[in-house]
Amino acid sequence: MRNPAKPPTATGMAVRTAIILFIFVAIFTGLLSAAYLWTRPTIEAAAAEEKMKLIDEVLPRKYYDNELLKDTLQIAPTAALGLDEVSTAYRARKDGKPSALVLEAIAPDGYAGKIRLLIAFGSEGELLGVRVTQHKETPGLGDYIDPKKDKNKEHPWITQFDGLTPMSIDERAWKVKKDGGRFDSMVGATVTPRAVIKAVRKAALYVAENRERFFGSEDRGQRTEDSRLRSEN
């Protein structure tokens, strides 16, 4: 006569449950990892395409023939750019020689908070283009700093910087016309442009002070530099 099977103990049940859970977690983790590896190239390509769309707005492609997103400089946090974290600058080259630079800057004193900017400089320090990439300015009032929101589609406000040589402009001119400067602004919405103008000028001074680092004549090839630029402030 066979002995009746013993009921599983609490310890045995716990071990069995743990093993089953472990198997399910392992399978689920494996599926997630496989999905990530499968979609990673697509995600990275989409991010690169989006980044290039922004860069194209400030830097015409005629200025370079290198792989811009692979020729980068890491810029340490610096007050001159309004940055409190490491950022990436993109160096354009033409025939192997540095021809332009694209970097980020932040205007910390916008009417509704920080205004993030993307700025392109030529090898002589001239401004090639400025665009606002993020802001919280008042819709229909201060948001005209964004050409997509600016009602003046023929000559958006932000294009006033195009082609300027900052070092040849007197410091007193870096203001809105209401304050005695050279830049236009909308009536009743001057806090926002003041912040942008000041941030662009500070970025221009920073680039001028670090010109050799950004536009050194040595040909480093199309590669990423690992060195970080020190803060000048």
Which pLDDT tens digit goes with each residue over 124-149? 999 999 999 999 998 888 899 999 99
At residue 123's C-alpha, the angle toward residues 122 and 124, to 5°, is 90
Which pLDDT band, with edges at 50, 70 and 90, does 23 fall under?
Answer: confident
Which pLDDT tens digit goes with each residue over 46-57? 666 788 899 999
Of 102, 174, 98, which is closest to residue 133 (Cα–Cα)? Answer: 102
Gyration radius of the chain's alpha carbons: 26
Percent of the chain with pLDDT over 90: 62
Our measurement of the distance from residue 12's CA atom to the centroid of its chain's CA atoms, rounded to an integer in Å, reads 56
Q: Write down the pLDDT at residue 44.
A: 56
Which pLDDT tens digit goes with each residue over 150-167? 988 889 999 999 999 999
Percent of the chain with pLDDT over 70: 84
Q: Which pair of structure tokens corresponds to residue 191?
A: 């806090």
Whether residue 233 has pLDDT greater than 70: no
**How confident is the model over 226-230, as a mean pLDDT?**
43
**How confident is the model over 8-26, as a mean pLDDT?**
78
The torsion angles phi and psi of 97, rounded to 5 degrees, stand at -105, 140
